Amino acid sequence: MPSTPTISAASRLLELLWTGKPPGPAAGLPTSEADWQRVLALAARHSLAPLLAAEVLGRSDLTIPAAVTVQLTAMRERAARRALAQIAELLRVQAALQREEIPVLKFKGQLLAEQAYGDVSLRSCFDLDLFVHEADVLRAKQVLLMLGYRAEFTLLAHEEADLLRIECEYPFKHATNGIQIDLQWRPRARYFSFPLPAEELWQRSIKTTLAGHPVMTFAPEDLTLLLLVHGAKHTWNKLEQLCALAAWLERNPGLDWAAIERRAEATGARRILLLGVHLLATWFAPPVPETLASAAANDSRVLELAQELSRIWFTPEPAHLGVLPTLRLHLRMRERLADRVRHCFWLAVTPGVNDWQAFSLPPALHALHYCLRPLRLVSKRHAEHHYALRA
């Protein structure tokens, strides 16, 4: 596969949204207000509105209807206000955690906006992702409660202990400002079978800055793999996931791809890596190793998956994948039979918040949920709801 030049992810965005195809020399541009409204709607659907607004308003080669200019300007202003409010809240929470000597890693959100685009306001972020040690989750929970947050669901002590053992995040929402925090302690829930040890992530973590303030985050190679796995978990359902990763790669050309590939292979995520590389090379062309790009382009399963996922992006109405189509995609993204078997087994038998809240059991009988879970999954409606919560 021939090398492709590095092209700014943002500069490709308008043509991509307008044509529904990888940008090319004859991509064309929207002209009428109706054309622009279609592009804006698609950008909002894919969480790309702030980035598109910044790109379009900064270009001199476009003729933009006045009403659309007003909309784009309003998008930029809303995104900037939201980003500043969320960063202020993040720093408040980080300071409170530091007072209790609880280490925390920040990732995604506005930090990824700054890392990828150089501007904290260019991602549509609706929650704050904080990574803590598993042993510190309940201590961090108490800090959040004192700061005015409430857990998204109420759990008994034995249910909370099970949550820490089998899941990867605990969501909280502020009672007045509505900001949501996802408290995380492992890269993925047990059912997803991505055994990258959290302690290794902590050992390789680095110091960086967010809007000039020091924060700790994942090492660049770890972040790259985590973003690839995050996109796969969500079946790459939003173009912003891919665009942010492409921009991140453009700004970090010196990544140790050999280390990324080793960790992907060790965790059974090589096909996830190849799928992400192929989607990136096709739609945004950031710098990726020629060996990986070639391997992806010659993998028939990767090509099939890439075609299916990209076809969904531009459907007239947002496509909602049910539990079984999502499960099939997840299984096809894994190269190891053992990971596919584990995925199905743990998803089928492991109870979660939905199960516990639907049928609360005392501690002595809590294990019965592992027997009741398969019976509850007979209901397709419940299965889709539960899987949607985990996805």
DSSP 315: -
Rounded Cα distance, 328 and 340, in Å = 10
Helix (H) or strand (E) holding 225: helix 220-233
Q: Are 209 and 366 in contact (CB under 8 A)?
A: no
**How confident is the model at residue 4, as a pLDDT?**
30
Q: What is the pLDDT of residue 3?
A: 32
Q: Residue 112 corresponds to which tokens in the numbers above? A: 């990824």
Neighbours of 37 (CB within 10 A): 15
* Per-residue model confidence (pLDDT) at position 353: 86
Rg (CA), the chain: 21
The whole-number pLDDT of residue 2 equals 30
Give me the pLDDT at residue 388, please.
47
Q: How far is it, in rounded angstroms, from Cα 111 to Cα 129?
A: 10
pTM: 0.91
Tell me the β-bridge partners of 127: 180
Pseudo-torsion of CA 94, 126, 193, 291, nearest 10°? -100
272 contacts: CB under 8 Å, gap ≥ 6 = 228, 229, 232, 264, 333, 334
- pLDDT value of position 317: 73
CA distances from 351 to 358, 361, 363, 374, 383 (A): 11, 12, 14, 9, 11
Helix (H) or strand (E) holding 170: strand 169-174
Cβ density class 194-206: b for 16+ within 10 Å, e for less = bebebeebeeebe
What pLDDT, on a 0 to 100 scale, did the predictor assign at position 26?
Answer: 59
Amino acid identity for residue 221 in this structure: E
- The helix (H) or strand (E) run that includes residue 99 is helix 66-99
Query: What span, in angstroms and rounded, lies between the C-alpha atoms of 357 and 361?
Result: 9
C-beta atoms surrounding 253 within 10 Å:
9
Say if CB 232 and CB 333 are below 8 A apart: yes
The position carrying tokens 């090379």 is 281
| pLDDT score of 101 | 97
**First and final CA of the chain: distance in angstroms?**
33
pLDDT at 68: 94
Beta bridge partners of 130: 106, 183
- Coil/strand/helix, residue 207: strand
- Catalogue the long-range contacts made by 340-348 (C-beta closer than 8 Å, 24 or more residues apart): 342/191, 342/193, 343/191, 343/192, 343/193, 346/166, 346/190, 346/191, 346/193, 347/191, 347/387, 347/390, 348/373, 348/374, 348/377
Low-confidence ranges of the chain (pLDDT < 50): 1-7, 382-383, 387-391
